[in-house]
Structure 1
């Protein structure tokens, strides 16, 4: 037996989820009533193996009649007497309270147990509930074996509440992530759970602590009877709201902290006794609706190495939102697809992660003849919820006539935007050269303020706008080429798409990898350098005469990269070279046959073969079609390459912004305005400018805003938010319970050709990259440009997000690494050590064992 305070991290399998999480809350100083657990192993000892058969009614009778061993009997009584009565006897199952299968209300709970005789009957009732038909059926529906269920019994001090209820930290109907829902009833919460009473209902913004609405139930005064030995009845008189505002705010503050502790939306059971709040349970919200989200939104192209890869800081989002909103509006206006006045909001943040307005974009693009919704969605890895091709705009004479101005403008846009982007890059190169001469530490505050404002308001805007418009041009180039590609295949061409967009010009994200590989070859030829690399620390490695010099040159040229390049809180390689050292150590163990440049050369022949096929198909009288096909192929290949080129310059801008921002943060910390220099990233950049300029800011008010913003970010850091959100998509938590060895096939988007068989290695974060072995198949939610050096180590890539034009797809094609992207819940359905067949041609993943 274990008291809540005694439960440790490795006790989950013996105490069950409910007791384990209540222990975690209690150890985090939340007001959880005292209690102890009769562990799963003790319960098994209490009830013999023959009495636990799940298949016969006779066995259940034996459980009810079974005598508890005397030693256990006395121990339970001893702990019960310490706790005092009344108590609540609760089931705590290992399999409950998880995303997708909460088992809420399935197991037995016995309240108000007032004596020793009733205690053991309650324990048996709770233990026996795991064999009930409703529990077994619930387990079957959620693909959990009934034989795998394991249960402990949790005995807890009974609260005699004035009011109790539930609190949802996110509105589970509307999906509003800042709106908490509180439901309260008089006395105990059982009538609320069973639906016997109408509760008071409160909607509250948990982060601004503002009551939005109150719905008060007009029930009369009521006698609360609490059956049980020695337990008196209690009269509760109803006068207005069950919860006064002070108690309500205290409850909400506590809920914000609980959500921040777990990092995902919580369903919290609570009780109030004499104005003191007690937390009775906290578990993830397992079903979420999005009725309050208007339109259709996606993280596509924001997530794979983008700003949605993690919860976004207010600082980063203020930079990104400003440019994305203006760039999207300007681009669509320039190609004459929207009027000069347009109030559409193109981006938003849900659950701490940015989304963009895919519904509005599709509606606009659908005006163009030849638009095919399925092609659009597949390119970006957007979940498809319709049959066939979805919205298709036919190529009619009238439609083509109306579209001529747009198509002419778009053709000019490709050329003119390229010139603007080149100009932005040249301007930034000059700025970068002048920046190198600046000494941030010795700058006066006024000069630093001017530098910061110029960097974030002008330099960043110019280059990032160019980058976004390059992305938009790349998407349009892809749609244009796909139209002629599909038309040719309908006429019998049998072209393969992926080989035609591989073997691009040398990609900037790939060049550092080639340089690092070259260093690894020199190390292999120098035993002393190899020994230092394998056994020395970072300082010793950089002190080596040849190895250290090579690495310093590498960092000097590519140190602006990081493992999460759009998270300004993350150090760049120049600040922390640990990832580079670990990657170099892995490269040094590989043979020359793994040379990434050789792999790229192989891809070139695949592309040229497919190109010859296309030229043969368009020979003879198809000269005009061939010219059109080749021109659009050239355009999409150029923009796919150029997007990665411009992205690298964008990464350099963010590296500078981090450096300057940290210096601003350091000075604000010296003025006792910030507690840490990196707290600057929890404020939007316009507010940072205002605070730095203000001679007498309010430090306490600033700290409160920082804490509120941090709490919001922490609240969703572990939440697996849906990639698409809105009325078209209903949230599905379809985590399938797959065990190693189970044969299964999963479908995604084919993004890099080829087939490979290998061992799965699930990497949820770059910090787990050291798990990778040569030849593994990388399974992850998404990749980041900073992950590119890992590609020579792997034989295949599987991600949960992304599409044909995403970073992971582009890099995989360059290396000839088969890739299947947008495989739903790949990190949950696949496990380390499984062998799978990855088919990058069909977009399939099959588990072998």
Structure 2
């Protein structure tokens, strides 16, 4: 029998430049083969759609048969962005250079970065499509959310619907593609607005104003969720209602085989106990309110530094940016509900196959891609047991290694850095994004949100990544230090809404910081320092 393929291994031609930055929190666990049906070619079509919306690519553009030309690919079960391919496309956007894109994404530009030029032939199309997209895409996002929300309550949180599980699995994947495509388009709107605010703050002589202006947006979904959990702890909201509202969240929720809160509410109950165990805990909505006030003060400061003739346009931009941030979280919520639809249908299908004697365990289904599930449903996948065993082995091997943040061609897997033992000397680290002022406190290093941990007053949460399921725990922290992420990541958005200092994208904070360290988190100067 030929060797069974590992669809999560990946492939790249030599010299192709990739980065794992900004993607680690989307699907934090190593991807399963079923995840590839979501985060593989389906996500690539979503990225291409975003460029079609703005007119950069023609409507006929399709995912290349060569993965070296994809904007996103998978290596050892981890997603990575194709810097060369993306910079060659986005350079057609007016005012965007390849170097600007790479600098924003990677923090710097390679000395040997290939020169790229935009297609001038697309400018007339972009001039028509881009303004239209800016005006209508937000409405599309909210419409997607409303329709997806109703579907999720009916067919995922509810009884699952009447269609066969395999049909629901395919339909959920297709729904994800549409919702994720619109989210990708809005993500570029957010990046443009954030860059504009940052540049204006620099010109005003106070770069920190940019971060404060992006804070205190108000009514962001994750803050609402944390506030609802606070209400559960106070007896103001029933657990069942909380799960109906937020049950598609849970640890590693971007991975299809994760157990989200609607399936296992134990993490919710543990978080409720954490809230109840803190007499000093502040309501998340109140923390958000202070951050909103700080953002309003930053607006006033930037307007005061802006020439009078330009102030109306500045007011419009700042208001627009706040709506963009809120809508970005709406889009993420919608695509997470779609992934939960894949999860529900996959487990229903897995249960059917166990009953039919084709699978040994329900979760064996996650080691098949959707097309293989269709073959199994038709009785045409005869060696399914061997496939599952082999791919479980591949995935466990991938979990033992990590990828470099930047690499060329096929990456060389690296063994994770062990926590530093003994005398560390002076410890000071920085990240790719920071803000929120300064605070000193006790480091609480948490590698898994399911691990039992009690954050006391003044504690600083140190972790590898965050996804929306971390938001209630983050609202108990005095500051955040996160290995993976950037200025647009979930952790940064929630930290700004809660008005707490953060340093994100440290890459090694969980390795060099120890649980119990007395540390300084200086968000203004992008520094984390061990004090004792």
Name the structure 1 match of 2:211. 498
Higher gyration radius (CA): 1
Give CA-to-partner distance per residue, 1:609-632, whole Å, 9 cap, x none: 111111112243xx1x33443333
CA offsets per residue over residues 76-107 of structure 1, 9 Å max, x none?
xxxxxxxxxxxxxxxxxxxxxxxxxxxxxxxx
Note if contact 1:375-1:479 (Cα within 8 Å) is conserved in structure 2: no
Deviation of the 1:468 alpha carbon: 2.5
Q: 1:366 to 1:437 in 2, by over 3 A?
A: closer
1:726 aligned to which of 408, 425, 435: 408
Residue 845 of structure 1, CA deviation: 0.9
Instruction: Give the 5 Å matches for 1:184-203.
Output: none
Q: What is the correspondence of 1:17-416 to structure 2 with a 5 Å cutoff?
A: 208=5, 293-304=14-25, 306-307=26-27, 309-338=28-57, 340-341=60-61, 343=64, 344-368=69-93, 370-371=95-96, 376=101, 380=105, 382=106, 384=108, 386=110, 406=126, 408-416=128-136
Aligned with 1:634 (options 319, 335, 342): 319
Q: What corresponds to 1:613 in structure 2?
A: 301
- 2:173 match: 456
CA offsets 1:769-805 (integer angstroms, 9 cap, x no match)? 5254442211111111111110122111111121111
Q: Return the offset for 1:410.
A: 2.1
Contact 2:401–2:415 (8 Å) recurs in 1: no
Tell me: CA distance 1:440–1:328, structure 2 relative to 1, closer, same or farther (3 Å).
Answer: closer
SS at match of 1:319: helix
Once structures 1 and 2 are overlaid, which stretch shifts more, 756-765 or 631-640?
631-640
Following TM superposition, by how much is the alpha carbon of 1:713 offset from its aligned partner in structure 2, in angstroms?
Answer: 0.9
Match of 1:697 in 2: 380
Distance 2:502 2:193 in 1: 22
SS of the residue 2:221 aligns to: coil
CA distance in 2, matches of 1:504, 1:637: 5
Pick closer, same or farther for the CA change 1:601–1:740 going to 2, 3 Å. Answer: farther
CA distance in 2, matches of 1:723, 1:563: 23
Q: Secondary structure at the match of 2:189?
A: helix
In 1, the alpha carbon distance for the partners of 2:271 and 2:326 equals 25
Contact 1:741/1:848, CA 8 A, preserved across alignment: no
C-alpha distance 822-372 of structure 1, shift in aligned 2 (>3 A): farther
Once residues 93 and 380 of structure 2 are traced to their aligned partners in structure 1, the CA distance between those partners, rounded to angstroms, is 52
Deviation at 1:415, TM superposition (A): 1.8
1: distance between equivalents of 2:299 and 2:411? 39
Return 5+ residue gaps in structure 2 as ranges: none
Cα displacement string for residues 289-327 of structure 1 (whole angstroms, at most 9, x for unaligned residues): x995442222333212x12x1200111221222332112
- Distance in 2 between the 1:455 and 1:515 partners? 27
Equivalent residues of 2:436, 2:499 under 8 A apart: yes
Provide the C-alpha distance between the structure 1 equivalents of 2:460 and 2:268, rounded to a whole number of angstroms: 21
* Alignment correspondent of 2:277: 589
Question: 1:331 Cα shift?
Answer: 2.1
Do structure 1's residue 474 and structure 2's residue 190 form an aligned pair? yes
Answering whether residue 249 of structure 2 is matched by residue 567 of structure 1, we say: no
Distance 1:399 1:690, change over 3 A: closer
Cα deviation, residue 587, structure 1? 0.7
**Would you say the 8 A contact 1:781–1:800 is kept in 2?**
yes
Would you say 1:666 and 2:351 are equivalent positions?
yes
**Matched residues in 1 for 2:301 and 2:120: separation?**
30
Contact kept, 8 Å, 2:364 with 2:388, in 1: the verdict is yes
Is the Cα–Cα contact under 8 Å of residues 378 and 804 in structure 1 kept in the other structure?
no
**Contact map agreement 1:501 1:607 (CA 8 A) in 2:** yes
SS of corresponding position for 2:257: coil
Q: 1:603: Cα distance to partner?
A: 0.9
TM-score if structure 2 supplies the norm length?
Answer: 0.87
Contact 2:30-2:395 at 8 Å conserved across structures: yes
Deviations 1:267-292 (A, max 9, x none): xxxxxxxxxxxxxxxxxxxxxxx995
TM-score (norm 1): 0.56
- Distance (Å, rounded) in 1 between the aligned partners of 2:217 and 2:337: 22
Q: Is the Cα–Cα contact under 8 Å of residues 403 and 414 in structure 2 kept in the other structure?
A: no
Residue 762 of structure 1 is matched in structure 2 by 445
Q: CA deviation at 1:436?
A: 7.2
Pairwise CA distance, 1:720: 2.2
Change (3 A) 1:295 1:575: same
Greater shift in the superposed pair: 629-638 or 667-676: 629-638
Counterpart of 1:707?
A: 389
Q: Deviations over 1:177-232 (max 9, x none)?
A: xxxxxxxxxxxxxxxxxxxxxxxxxxxx97559xxxxxxxxxxxxxxxxxxxxxxx
In the aligned structure 1, how far is the partner of 2:352 from the partner of 2:415? 46
8 Å CA contact 2:223–2:288 kept in 1: the answer is no
Is 1:751 equivalent to 2:470 in the alignment? no
Distance verdict in 2 for CA 1:379–1:518, change over 3 Å: farther
Residue 430 of structure 1 deviates from its aligned partner by 4.5
CA-CA distance at 1:509 after TM superposition: 1.8
Cross-structure match for 1:248: none
Shift of 1:746: 1.3
Aligned to 1:242: none
Change (3 A) 1:425 1:208: closer
CA RMSD, aligned part only? 3.5
Change over 3 Å in CA distance of 1:647–1:832 after alignment to 2: same
Q: Secondary structure at the match of 1:672?
A: coil
Contact 1:752 1:818 in 2 (8 A): yes
The structure whose residues are more often strand, as a share, is 1
Alpha-carbon displacement from aligned partner over 1:658-713 (angstroms, at most 9, x marks no partner): 22221111111111111111111111112212321x1x3344x1112222222211
Cα deviations across residues 107-162 of structure 1 (Å, max 9, x unaligned)?
xxxxxxxxxxxxxxxxxxxxxxxxxxxxxxxxxxxxxxxxxxxxxxxxxxxxxxxx
| Secondary structure of 2:333 counterpart | helix
User: Highest relative contact order (Cα 8 Å, sep 6+), 1 or 2?
Assistant: 2
Counterpart in the other structure of 1:838: 521
Conserved 8 A contact 1:352-1:716: yes
- Secondary structure of the corresponding residue to residue 349 of structure 1: strand
State how far apart, in whole Å, the 1-side matches of 2:399 and 2:410 are.
25
Shift, 1:733, TM fit: 7.9
Between the aligned partners of 1:291 and 1:346, the Cα distance in structure 2 is 12
Query: Take 1:438 and 1:402, find their aligned partners in 2: how far apart are those partners?
Result: 46
Write the distance in 2 (CA, Å) between the matches of 1:400 and 1:440.
49
Deviates most, 669-678 or 295-304 = 295-304
Who is 2:141 aligned against?
A: 421
- 2:437–2:524 contact (8 Å) kept in structure 1: yes
Unaligned runs of 5+ in 1: 1-204, 210-264, 266-289, 523-546
Distance in 2, Cα, partners of 1:363 & 1:437: 42
Q: Residue 434 of structure 1: CA displacement? A: 4.8
Partner of residue 557, structure 1: 245
- Size of the aligned set, in residue pairs, is 521
